[in-house]
Amino acid sequence: MYSHAITRLPPQTMAGGITSQTDSVDVQRARVQHQSYIKTLETLGIDVTILDPEEDYPDSHFVEDTAIIHKKTAVLTRPGAMERRGEVERIRAALEQRMPVMELDQDASSFVDGGDVLFMGRHVFIGISHRTNLPGAVSLKARLQTIDPELAVHFVPFTGVLHLKSGITALGDDILLGNPELKLHEALPAGKIVWLPAEQGYAANALVVNKTGLYFSECPAAGEAIEKAGLKPIGLDLGEFRKMDGSFTCLSLLW
Ligand code: CIR
């Protein structure tokens, strides 16, 4: 069960973030959608910290990419996209006020995005992607196993989607929701993937919080899979964030 979250308001500059999409973003709409995401977390019993927008970092509301939190300890990342690296220093103080904070390593050539780090029970899958390289994954594994020696950490090379969690998220200790666009280079060593229909694949990024699964409301197959997994489905519209390749997990850091 989670009790706390950190979020950050989307900046006016958010349309200048990195994206593979072409539709233009409506910042006002994005803020309304962000507000309803926060309200939903609050109704699930989460104490949500809302950080001020960072206008010079257009992707900075995607706070998930800046840190990994496990057992109320944070590991700061080094994002794979150079233009996002500065976001980590902007969130450091908010984390340090709330929990112990570890650094990834001193090696500037290693990098990790939080969106590539997926927990499923005692398993942690670290996606090896354009945003997370093997040295970064090795470094993160060492820190996670310092925090929790029981964790089984697996490296998962993939292509086809931005982050590992754009392709799969966990609905339980043994079940995952999958986007058929994800191409895993090897089978996962644990967990069964329920693949969504291709046209709803984007909804594989669901956020499971306190026995509830938040998902894209326009993708009913995701809601059905969430319900089947024994969770309460809540559909939300995050369409403006989708235009920036974002989704549910990336908008919060939870513990
Ligand atoms: C980026 O390309 O970095 C952002 N526009 C989207 C990041 C989404 N983060 C995530 O899925 N963890």
Binding site membership of 245 for ligand 1 (Cβ less than 6 Å):
yes
Annotated catalytic residue 250: yes
CA 239 to mean position of chain CA atoms = 16
Binding site membership of 247 for ligand 1 (Cβ less than 6 Å):
yes
Distance 170 CA to ligand 1 centre (A): 18
Q: What is the pLDDT of residues 119-177, one digit of tens each?
A: 999 999 999 999 999 999 999 999 999 999 999 999 999 999 999 999 999 999 999 99
The pLDDT value recorded for residue 38 is 98
DSSP state of 220: H
Distance 222 CA to ligand 1 centre (A): 20
Distance 250 CA to ligand 1 centre (A): 7
Q: Give the chain's mean pLDDT.
A: 98
Q: What is the pLDDT of residues 67-83, one digit of tens each?
A: 999 999 999 999 999 99
The pLDDT value recorded for residue 43 is 98
- Rounded CA gap, 209 and 232, in Å? 10
3-class DSSP state of 177: strand
Q: What is the pLDDT of residues 221-247, one digit of tens each?
A: 999 999 999 999 999 999 999 999 999
Q: Which helix (H) or strand (E) holds 178?
A: strand 175-178
Grade residue 191 by pLDDT with cuts at 50, 70 and 90: very high
- Rounded CA gap, 249 and 181, in Å? 18
Q: Phi then psi for 204, rounded to 5 degrees? A: -65, -20
Q: What is the pLDDT of residues 16-33, one digit of tens each?
A: 999 999 999 999 999 999
- Rounded CA gap, 175 and 192, in Å? 5
* Percent of the chain whose predicted confidence (pLDDT) is above 70: 100
The pLDDT value recorded for residue 138 is 98
